[in-house]
Amino acid sequence: MNTVKPWYLSKTIWAALVSIAATFGSALGIPVDQAAHEGLVEAILQLVSAGAGAVAILGRMTAHSRIG
């Protein structure tokens, strides 16, 4: 693996975070099945990816120097 990406674009990281949240939810009496878990991971990843794209565009629009 030579490709580097930010941690917040990693499906593994988000799956682990959702798994932790689902465990806490289960302990509090909130049922979370496997299909909901997978759907939640995918939805979060899509939102994070869209947010990262928006931040990149805004960053470029407000930058004070050119890309060389």
> Which residue range forms the structural domain that includes residue 38?
7-62
More confident residue, 67 or 38: 38
CB neighbours of 9 closer than 8 A, spacing ≥ 6? Answer: 45, 48, 49, 52
pLDDT tens, residue by residue, 1-45: 677 888 877 888 888 888 888 888 878 888 778 788 888 888 888
| pTM reported for the whole predicted model | 0.58
Place 68 in a pLDDT band, splitting at 50, 70 and 90: low
67 in a domain, yes or no? no
2 in a domain, yes or no? no
Place 48 in a pLDDT band, splitting at 50, 70 and 90: confident
Number of domains observed in the structure of the chain: 1
Contact assessment for residue 52 and residue 9, using Cβ atoms and an 8 Å cutoff: yes
Looking at residue 1, what is its pLDDT?
A: 60
Rounded to the nearest 10°, the torsion over CA 48, 54, 55, 57 is 150
47 in a domain, yes or no? yes
23 in a domain, yes or no? yes
Residue 2 sits at φ, ψ, to 5 deg, of -110, -10
